[in-house]
Amino acid sequence: MLLELRISNLAIVDDLSISFAEGLTVITGETGAGKSIIAGGLSLLLGAAVTKEFVRHGESEAYVEAIFEVQEIDSRYEQIKRKGIRIDSDGIIVLRREIRREGRGRVLINGLISSLSIMSDIASLLISVQSQDQKRELGDKHFALNFLDQVLNLYKLRKQHAVLWKDWRESKRRLNSRITEDELLLEHLEYISYQCQELTEAGLEVGEEEQLADQLKLIRNLASVTTASAKCSSILDNSDPSVRQLLASAISALPAADAADRKLNDIRDLMISADSELSEASILLNSFQDSLPADTALHDELESRESLYLELKRKYNLDTAGLIDLKNELQVKIDAHKTASSDISQLESNCDSALKLLKECSRELHDKRASGCEKVADKATLIIQKLDLPDFHMKFDINYLTSDDYDFALDGYPVVANEHGVDNVGLSVCTNSGEKYGKVADISSGGEQSRIFLGLLSLQNNDNYSQTLLLDEADAGLGLDSAQCVARLLKSLSVNGQVICITHLPTMAVAGDYHLQVEKVELADRKVVSVTQVSGDDRVVEVARLLGGQKVTDSEGKSQFKYAEDLLSSSI
């Protein structure tokens, strides 16, 4: 339920705070007084577009804030919590939208910054704003389908159908993609196999090129390397005296001088360390000499191996790591072709299973629509006939969606499926006896469309009727007598919920449990909007104004006052 609406600096509104109660609230006021700003403010919470011109002249920021109460037993309570909104034990939800003349606006839910999308989703659970423009919904190609599903409580089944439809489309996409992939692969399989074999037989390894380069460098300089290493080995160990022998003699000469200067100990330690390192160098040198090839017989083999690397890198325009990756990728493709038959068979099975489930759900959805539409049409007809349309009748036209490029056959019909099912649902009405059925927009007047729309509205799912329903001059085009019928309907809708009706008609105004009057008042040389609750004599005065179209005094319009009093005393 909407508890309070606050609007600040929006259009001609200065600072407005309106409290609401359960039941039927009527809002009246002179033309241009600002009644529709109330509906417009709530529409902003539902995500309506804004411009900087919405901000009151001379102000930098405007805002709309609505305070709702949601009971824990309400089905919307969990829906709102699932969107990540915390609801305290008092069940209060505060939605606020700020509009700035410069820069971006802000959206807050319970004081926390949020997105307009989330707020719009939550607001749509809490309130529904219906205006004259929304009578156009009757002409929308999806209106009849959505309305019928809502009244028959088929949205859960329709949601299931949407999931199955998406699953089937994805299964079909995967199957077609796998078939196409294998067909393309098959066209190039011989070439791919050749490339893979060539790279596999090459046996490429990361780092091998560097090893080849080192080996070839050694072989190309084998003679000089052999001579140099032999000479070095001779100097270290095999000459007379050798370097190591001379170093050993120098070390042995130092102990006699030990007593003379302790710094000689440090020098002696360095020489011993040098002897140790020369010994290790000698061992490594001998090992290196033993590893040298006896001749250059490997030269051609290594040259050929190095050339192979160079040729493959040039041919494929890849480095060694890239060649190895390419070989692995080609092998994966070849393996994929080997398993294509099995893969496609499995994907076909998955697609068939998904299609079977989809067809079953499509048939169930169609059957429930077909079997329930006549009862819904009869109920709606009875309601709308009471709205001063005694000759009104309506019917639903349900046909399969068909096309030459169909998805599957159902009951012998080539049908096209979408997330909503396989049905094309139309709504036809007849407003006068003896006339043909036709579309609402084609054969009914504006006033008739208002009543038809309200009548259909009363049949919608009960969960949606826990919403606050605001009607912005939905009685436009109605006469005083017709409005009484509509007033009774709104009164019945408000028994278990909250209905707010902006109206110009006195026969509508007297039906309200609460009556709010909107006026423009002068404040500091500016016109601002004021909203007050009227009752007693003040309400009689306002109803009398509605009867005459302008304010009247007791002396000017006794008959209007008397009629206003009679209307109020006999109101439903």
- Tens-place pLDDT, residues 250-262: 888 776 555 556 7
Average pLDDT, the chain: 85
User: Which amino acid, 387?
Assistant: L
CA distance 29 to 452: 26
- Tally of structural domains, the chain: 3
Query: Is 354 domain-assigned?
Result: no
| CATH number of the domain residue 502 falls in | 3.40.50.300
SS3 533: strand
C-beta of residue 376 within 8 angstroms of C-beta of residue 148: yes
CA distance 555 to 565: 15
CA distance 421 to 403: 15
pLDDT at 483: 77
pLDDT at 495: 82
Q: Give the tokens for residue 379.
A: 């109920």
pLDDT at 463: 47
SS3 100: strand
Indicate whether 157 pLDDT > 50. Answer: yes
Q: Between 540 and 220, name the one with better pLDDT.
A: 540
Regarding whether 543 and 519 lie in a shared domain, the answer is no
How would residue 476 be classed by pLDDT, with cut points 50, 70 and 90? Answer: low
Regarding whether 541 and 524 lie in a shared domain, the answer is no
CB hemisphere CA count around 533 (13 angstroms): 10
pLDDT at 282: 83
Tens of pLDDT, residue by residue over 34-75, are 888 888 888 899 888 888 888 888 888 999 999 999 887 677
H or E segment at 505? Answer: none
HEC-encoded secondary structure of 253-274: HCHHHCCCCCHHHHHHHHHHHH
Query: Is 53 domain-assigned?
Result: yes
Regarding whether 251 and 122 lie in a shared domain, the answer is no
> 129, 203, 59, 1: which is closest to 526 by C-alpha?
59
CA distance 4 to 229: 99
pLDDT at 464: 46
C-beta of residue 91 within 8 angstroms of C-beta of residue 70: yes
- How confident is the model over 376-398, as a mean pLDDT? 91
CB hemisphere CA count around 453 (13 angstroms): 26
Among residues 337, 368, 400, which one ends one of the domains? Answer: 337
Query: Is 310 domain-assigned?
Result: yes
Specify the pTM: 0.63
Angle subtended by helix axes 155-187 and 189-202, to nearest 10: 70
C-beta of residue 158 within 8 angstroms of C-beta of residue 149: yes
Regarding whether 236 and 278 lie in a shared domain, the answer is yes
* 239, burial (CB in 10 Å: exposed 0-12, middle 13-18, buried 19+): middle
pLDDT at 513: 92
Domain containing 543 equals 537-572
CA distance 207 to 96: 65
Stated length of the chain: 572
- How confident is the model over 332-351, as a mean pLDDT? 86
Regarding whether 529 and 544 lie in a shared domain, the answer is no
Regarding whether 121 and 18 lie in a shared domain, the answer is yes
Indicate whether 214 pLDDT > 90. Answer: no
Whole-number percent of the chain with pLDDT over 70? 92
Regarding whether 125 and 221 lie in a shared domain, the answer is no
Report CA-CA distances (Å) from 442 to 136, 427, 446, 538: 12, 12, 11, 42
Indicate whether 296 pLDDT > 80. Answer: no
Query: Is 488 domain-assigned?
Result: yes
Among the listed ranges 97-106, 148-157, 293-302, which one has the minimum average pLDDT value?
Answer: 293-302
Indicate whether 234 pLDDT > 90. Answer: no
Q: Give the tokens for residue 449.
A: 């469309």
β-strand partners of 94: 67
CA distance 281 to 373: 100
Tens of pLDDT, residue by residue over 160-174, are 999 999 999 999 999
